[in-house]
A and B are shown apart, each in its own frame.
Chain A
Amino acid sequence: MNSTPFRGHARFLGLLLGVGAAAAVVSGGGSLTARASAPALMPVTSYRSASCGCCKGWVQHMRANGFAVRDVVVADVAVIKRRLGVPTRLASCHTAEVAGFALEGHVPAADVKRLLQKRPQVAGLALPGMPLGSPGMESAYGKEAFTVMAFTRTGAISSFSQHAK
């Protein structure tokens, strides 16, 4: 899986520092001291349908990459998608919010980090459908190439990152 190379790698690492430390807390349990000194985890709120079999996999992927994910089961995900302005043609299963941006579907954590670093003038990122091999969709049946799209409040859509098979 190759995401588009990051520009300004050093700046990106700076952002990651906090996230990395936080991840250590999550995976290692950490002492109270370590917890206190670690920067706050970037909070994400994820909305999913109870019957979806893959949304939890994405939540785990985000947690493993240093995000503090609140996993919310809702009766009607479509309401959330509309509120956050996700274009219908970009729809996936779950929808999430991070720092005022919408995240639709199995968007890789690395793309979310680049979004937070660059803060482009977009409403959010979307990975439409449920591509095999995307985070939370790892499968022995194979992988599919996929493109993470950025979308604006007015519904303009552009390619954010391409991921090969």
Chain B
Amino acid sequence: MTTPLRRRQVLGLGLAGLGTAVVGPLLWDRLQHSAARAQPAGAARLASRGGVADLELVASATPGTLPGGPATLLTYNGRSPGPLLEVNAGDQVRLRLRNDLQEPTNLHFHGLHIPPTGTGDNVFLTVPPGGSTTYAFKLAADHPAGLFYVHPHHHGHSADQVFGGLGGALVVRGDLDRIPEVGAASESVLVLKDFASASGQEAAMGVGRMLGREGPLLTVNGELNPALAIPSGGLLRLRLLNASNARIYRLALEGHRMVLIATDGGAIATPESLEELLLAPGERADVLVQGNQTPGSYRLRNLPYQRSGHMGMGQVADAPQTLATLNYAGSVATLPLPKTLIPVPSQPQPERTRRFSLAHAMGMGMGGMQHGMGGMGSGGMGFVINGQPFDPDRIDTRVSLGSTEDWLIVNDDVMDHPFHLHVNPFQVISRAGRPEAQRRWKDTVLVKAGEEVRIRVTFKDFTGRTVYHCHNLDHEDLGLMGVLQID
């Protein structure tokens, strides 16, 4: 299942005592038997029945082991990632969150088109330590099928909690799954998440909160280098979720192309064959892999990527890292790729264009900080949108229900920022002045250092207060977030 020796070469941080894979469900199962100290890990998958999803997640700090020593991991139901949640378009969802952490938390239903208020995707809710709350909402019958993401979103705690292990995949079944070629593929949901080492040395090497913390332990569904299986002639649908705090994955599968069929918000119109796939935190992608190569083992790899332009800042690895291994097993009659998927209509012409400049800057009180008089509020260094750090009590952007707008996201910074909008999906119109070839549904878009990306969004169905922010969650906690009011 794992190849610790290979990992040891990759880690290169002098970690001792690498054992078996230790973070994922397998670990928790093993802990039950060996240590009997962790609470029993819950089911690996929670699904709706008869149109109703009745779900419970318990957030807690759970003792576990990482290469290098014991560690406390943050888990849902004793698991990191949390259980796979599986619902259908049209379902009534009731999700009870119990907070057994020592700090406040909450949930964000990343990518779902549901109300931002009340018991919906309300990130202004606080679930205090020892408390619980029930999120309840109905998914529209025509809600796009896709891979979505449930994770904590309590401002000031988001990064710590996600980096510590909280988060999980939410699959909505629907239109895309009914396309015969897609339905015939076998399916693997891959939650990509890096963990700090037990020593935490990497922070001392510069990958701290300002860059956004990355860890050297690259896990897939909580495991180091898990095995994936494909029969000769078969189709494997890899459903990829970047659930990392700050790491941007540059994915490539040895010997195989990856055929993109869905982005964040669901199906694309026409499959696109890719050599590589760039996946920023919060982004998802569905790709089909054809078992059309010589039977053997092929590595799913994370290639080096520079997320501070070419300054090199924050780049720890300069060699590919193995995330998982695809093994051929058996054979089936050759399954065809789909020719077309689901049309993605263009949105109406925008009524206005807004500009959002993302940067890190000395905020108010810079002089005060330097002369020892500061330290209050958001003074000093942090991240800003149009010059202002996040303030939950200020409305930054007010839009009308039913309107369409272009947002020009301008990265005036020296590092990449994945920009995420809650509740309403958008389409990318252009990047760095170049029009996008295809319209696709997105809710998170990577805006590289120095780059401008134009997105188009129609504010549909739901009024209320919500947010947009950088999905490098350390950046979000350090101020890179704004409040959107839909009236």
Residues of A within 8 A of B (CB): 49, 51-54, 57, 60-61, 64, 76-78, 81, 88-93, 105, 127-132, 136-142, 144-147
Contact = CB atoms under 8 A, between A and B. Distances in A.
B369 A139 contact: yes
B378 interface: yes
B362 to A, nearest CB: 6
What 10 A-B pairs come out closest when comparing CB atoms?
A129-B206, A128-B206, A91-B312, A53-B361, A139-B380, A139-B381, A130-B210, A138-B369, A88-B312, A53-B360
Most buried by B among A77, A89, A147: A89
Given A131-B208, A131-B210, A140-B369, 17 more contacts: A57-B381, A60-B370, A91-B308, A91-B311, A92-B313, A93-B311, A93-B313, A128-B206, A129-B205, A129-B211, A129-B314, A130-B211, A137-B210, A139-B379, A140-B382, A141-B209, A141-B479
Contacts of A131: 206, 208, 210
B412 interface: yes
Given A51-B359, A93-B311, A128 B205 contact: yes
A129 B369 contact: no
B290 to A, nearest CB: 37
Interface in B438-457: 449-450
B315 A88 contact: yes
Contacts of A105: 206
B316 interface: yes
Given A88-B318, A93-B414, A132-B381, A138 B374 contact: yes
Interface in B263-310: 308-310
Contact of A129 (B313, B380, B412): B313
Interface of B: 203-211, 308-316, 318, 359-362, 365-366, 369-370, 374-382, 412-414, 449-450, 477-479
Contacts of A91: 206, 308, 311-315
A140 B211 contact: no
A140 B377 contact: yes
A107 B365 CA distance: 22
Contacts of A142: 209
Secondary structure dominating the interface of A: loop
A137 B382 CA distance: 9
A144 B374 contact: no
A140 B208 contact: no
Given A53-B362, A132-B210, A138 B370 contact: yes
A139 B361 CA distance: 10
22 contacts: A51-B359, A51-B450, A54-B360, A78-B309, A78-B310, A89-B205, A89-B206, A89-B315, A90-B205, A91-B313, A129-B207, A129-B314, A130-B208, A131-B206, A137-B381, A138-B370, A139-B478, A140-B374, A140-B380, A140-B382, A141-B477, A141-B478
Contact of B312 (A51, A60, A81, A147): A81
A64 B209 CA distance: 26
B103 to A, nearest CB: 15
Contacts of B312: 78, 81, 88-89, 91
Contacts of A64: 370
B186 to A, nearest CB: 39
Nearest to A95: B311
A144 B203 CA distance: 9
A145 B202 CA distance: 12
Nearest to B313: A91
A10 B311 CA distance: 39
A91 B208 CA distance: 13
A88 B313 CA distance: 7
Most buried by A among B210, B376, B377, B380: B210
B413 A53 contact: yes
Contact of B414 (A51, A88, A128, A146): A51
A129 B311 contact: no
Contacts of A127: 206
Nearest to A90: B206
Contacts of B450: 51
Nearest to A48: B414
Most buried by B among A76, A91, A132, A138: A138
